[in-house]
Amino acid sequence: MDTFAGPIIPSVELVNGLKIPILGLGTSHHGGYSHSSVVYALKECGIRHIDTAKRYGCESHLKKAIEESRINREDLWLTTKLWPGDYGCETTKAACLESCKRLGVDYVDLYLMHWPDGNALGKTNRELRAETWQVLEELYDEGICRSIGVSNFLISHLEQLKEDCDIIPHVNQAEYHPFQRPQELVDYCRSHGIVFEGYCPLAKGQALSHPDIIKMSEKYNCSPSQICIRWSIQNGVVTIPKSTKKERIWENCQVFQFSLTEDDIAVLNGMHEGLHVSWDPSNIE
């Protein structure tokens, strides 16, 4: 069974030919999960892309929500992430298989290294990243991970990985909103065949009170959150807003019926000020 009353969500093609929906539903720890809202997103809003992580502690809850939604596995895109505490050749594969078990699946569509800092005694971050990525390459070859990528990696981290390993990440997920638009990183990813995926598209709510964004929401007869999400999508970024409220999830999915003008895109692009509302990886070697 695979029926819903929401929009058809476009996809972005990865270098390996897989297609990731350009809009997904993010989850998180500290109250960032609602069972009924995830079921609602899947059944009523057309969401087929869910982003989670071991760190968030909701993989097993997602298993129940997916089962309840009765959406076919092959119609879902499931992303989860490897926590730095599990980095290394001895622990990475087991952590991935445990995530699959908690999610109730035989494979994940995308598996990400969650953070460039490994904090391993006796090893540099670069050594640990390379060692861990080589295991992800094996998981990819085995089909346990249909695609592999990284999260919060900067150009320097990606350059090192390119030198140390065989497979270029399929995806790099990083903070992306009007106040944090790392265009140099986006351009680097695109020039190397890496799909850029953005989280915190609303800057954890801070963007919703900006007067220019409010003015645009009035112009387009939509919400400030829809302006931010539409801007991100029009910039070609895979976007994963997070909400536990059904009405917000529905609202966040209604962004394919309008387009922002080039002038308004330029205004939003010009708001970049380097603000991080989440982790800042700038000081990680």
Complete domains list, the chain, with CATH: 11-200+238-244 (3.20.20.100)
Counting residues of the chain whose pLDDT is more than 70, the rounded percentage is 98
H-assigned helices in 110-198: 125-141, 155-164, 183-191
Whole-number Å distance between alpha carbons of 246 and 73: 22
pLDDT in tens, 78-113: 999 999 999 999 999 999 999 999 999 999 999 999
Tell me the average pLDDT of the chain: 95
Over residues 142-148, mean pLDDT: 98
Give the pLDDT score at 231. Answer: 98
CA distances for 162 relative to 83, 123, 157, angstroms: 21, 19, 9
Give the pLDDT score at 6. Answer: 55
Which residues are tagged catalytic?
A: 56
272 has binding-site annotation: no
Instruction: State the amino acid at position 197 in one-letter form.
Output: E
Residue 155 corresponds to which tokens in the numbers above?
């150009």
Longest dimension (CA), the chain: 56
Give the pLDDT score at 30. Answer: 74
Most confident range (mean pLDDT) of 3-12, 23-32, 42-51, 118-127 is 42-51
Give the pLDDT score at 263. Answer: 98
Give the pLDDT score at 64. Answer: 96
pLDDT higher than threshold 90 for residue 1: no
pLDDT higher than threshold 60 for residue 131: yes
Over residues 204-223, mean pLDDT: 97
Over residues 159-181, mean pLDDT: 98
pLDDT in tens, 117-127: 987 778 999 99
Q: Which residues pair with 199 in a beta bridge?
A: 175
Q: pTM above 0.85?
A: yes
pLDDT higher than threshold 90 for residue 4: no
pLDDT in tens, 52-84: 999 999 999 999 999 999 999 999 999 999 999
Whole-number Å distance between alpha carbons of 85 and 109: 22
**pLDDT bucket at 182, cuts 50 / 70 / 90:** very high
